[in-house]
Amino acid sequence: MLNYIWSGLIVSSLLFALWFDVGDLARDAYRNGEALPVEVVLPDDYDPAARVVPVSIRVDAETYRAFYGTDASPEAAYPGELLQTLSGRQLRFAAGADLPEPLATIQGMSSSQEGELQGTLVGFDPADAAAVDGAAGGTGALDAAVRFEPVRFVKMNAIAQAALDFATTAAELALGLIGVLALFLGLLKIAEQAGIVHSLVRVVQPVLRPLFPEIPPDHPALGMIALNLTANIFGLGNAATPFGIKAMEELQTLNPTEDTATNSMVMLLAINTASVQLVPPVLLLALMGLQINQLIFAIIITTGLSLAVAIVATRLYGRLPGSRASDPLRLAGTAASTAGRGD
């Protein structure tokens, strides 16, 4: 079911992105193929044969607003570089420049390897000594224009890049969890062989039995659930994952079907989703440091209320006619009773 939900969200986002991108193309929001008028301020020792020349780039605010049809205004001047090669001249804005829209968006599509906004310089004539040589009565500034690479389907490209980035992140997280899973599952196996899990089951029965009445007494699933909840309470998310997986495996041994969750499995999932915590998560501690003390009571109250809502909602959902009709344990009991009467 979740696969269908995620697929629907991705398709919907792509359709919305396509709608906006088509609108941008229809009104030519990025002025593809046109050159933005600029003023290039050359250094006093400008050498027309030099490959890289540091310059200052001026963009007139009124010209910019009229060119792109926007209310945003550029800064008075931007540091940059003039790159001169046999194939032509390029103008590069310095990396980290505070560019207004749509130049900030164009930067993502027309940037150098260092992330600098770059474009082809047109209308530039360094032979104009009156404009270049300030000593000859010029200003040292030369009127020109810069033409950027065409910008199309910005939002669709952004969604596609975000999908690839999150896919990479998911793979990194999965690989990173292998060691954690191996460690805690190994410790769990040792605890099980040593009888610690069975001892834990007897301790937590008075608390967990009302929440999981379908689990038989002294069943190992109660111990796994207790370890999972304890790890969540103390903010040990990585440790809670293997315990939760093991708890689901134990609950599945009580499930007569393979494709339908029991009430106990739904309750465990709901409690994990609520994630009640008495100790803030390690990541939040690393980000906020001692300031986390201001949020401890808020975290406890919020997670406590979310836990109560999760338990109540799960119990109410389990009593709905549709849920009762699809309960695997109830169906198994009905089938057994029918078979017994038939005998």
Backbone angles phi, psi at 128, to 5 degrees: -75, 85
Calculate the CA dihedral of residues 188, 250, 246, 316 and round it to 10 degrees: -130
Residue range 299-330, pLDDT digits in tens: 778 888 988 999 999 989 888 888 888 888 77
Q: Which is more confident, 130 or 169? A: 169
The answer to whether the CB of 276 falls within 8 A of the CB of 244 is no
Please determine, for residue 142, whether its predicted confidence score (pLDDT) is greater than 90: no
Q: What is the DSSP string of 103-157?
A: HHHHHHHSB-TTS-BEEEEES--TT-HHHH-GGGT--SEEEEEEEPPP---HHHH
Q: What are the start-end ranges of the H helices in 27-80?
A: 61-68
Indicate the range of 15-24, 56-65, 87-96, 239-248 predicted with least confidence: 239-248
Q: What is the chain's mean pLDDT, rounded?
A: 80
Higher-confidence residue of 146 and 329: namely 146
Q: Name, of 135-144, 149-158, 164-173, 331-340, the range with top average pLDDT.
A: 149-158
Query: Left if phi > 0, otherwise alpha if psi is -120 to 50, otherwise beta: which for 125?
Result: beta
Q: For residue range 199-254, what is the model confidence (pLDDT) as tens digits? A: 766 777 787 888 888 888 878 888 888 888 887 776 666 677 788 888 899 899 98
54-65 average pLDDT score: 92
pLDDT at 196 over 80: no
Our CA angle for 267, 270, 272, nearest 5°, is 110
User: When comparing pLDDT for 204 and 154, which is higher?
Assistant: 154
Q: Which of 34-38, 84-88, 110-114 has the lowest mean pLDDT?
A: 110-114
What is the identity of the amino acid at 306?
A: S
Q: What is the reported pLDDT for 137?
A: 41
How far apart, in whole angstroms, are the C-alpha atoms of residue 128 and residue 142?
8
What is the residue-wise DSSP string for 197-225? HHHHHHHHHHHHTTT-TTSPTT-HHHHHH
Kindly state the tokens that stand for 116: 């600098």
What pLDDT, on the 0 to 100 scale, is given for residue 110? 76
Nearest to 155 by CA among 343, 24, 324, 6: 24
283 or 318: which carries more pLDDT confidence? 318
* Of 97-111, 144-158, 230-244, highest mean pLDDT: 144-158
Asked if 21 and 156 count as a contact pair (C-beta separation under 8 A), the reply is yes
Q: How much is the pTM?
A: 0.54
pLDDT at 279: 63
Indicate the pLDDT class of residue 168, thresholds 50, 70 and 90.
confident
Distance CA 109, CA 118 (A): 10
What average pLDDT does range 291-298 have in this prediction?
69
4-28 average pLDDT score? 87
Q: Note the pLDDT tens digit of each residue in 30-42.
A: 999 899 999 998 8
Residue 83 — φ and ψ, nearest 5°?
-100, 115
Q: Which residue, among 75, 66, 62, has the nearest Cα to 34 in the 3D structure?
A: 66
* Lowest mean pLDDT segment, chosen from 26-40, 61-75, 126-140, 289-303: 126-140
The rounded distance, in Å, linking the Cα atoms of 200 and 207 is 12
